[in-house]
């Protein structure tokens, strides 16, 4: 292998390395974004689960409905979830 071939191969490896670093950085940003989304969804899940636990303890079906509706309306107002 000549010196020029070694230099070319080194330059190609440097380009591949830079591309790999950029890909890793992009993936790390996506992971961070997904972790935040997961945290938000877990919080909503916990709120809804607790609301259902409370609703089960309410003996009146109409009161259960009003309780769950109020919880969903609050989540809707605060987060914009459950559109439509």
* Range of the structural domain that residue 46 is part of: 3-79
Those residues of the chain that have pLDDT short of 50 are 84
Asked, for residue 52, whether it belongs to a domain, the answer is: yes
Asked whether the beta carbons of 49 and 71 are under 8 A apart, the reply is no
pLDDT, position 46: 94
pLDDT, position 82: 63
Asked, for residue 84, whether it belongs to a domain, the answer is: no
Would you call 52 exposed, middle or buried from its count of C-beta atoms within 10 A (0-12, 13-18, 19+)? Answer: middle
Number of domains in the chain: 1
């Amino acid at each position: 292998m000549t010196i020029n071939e070694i230099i070319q191969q080194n330059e190609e490896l440097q380009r591949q390395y830079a591309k790999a670093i950029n890909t890793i950085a992009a993936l790390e940003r996506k992971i961070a974004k997904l972790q935040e989304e997961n945290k938000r969804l877990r919080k909503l899940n916990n709120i809804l689960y607790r609301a259902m636990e409370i609703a089960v303890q309410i003996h009146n079906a109409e009161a259960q409905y009003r309780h769950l509706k109020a919880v969903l309306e609050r989540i809707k107002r605060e987060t914009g979830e459950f559109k439509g």
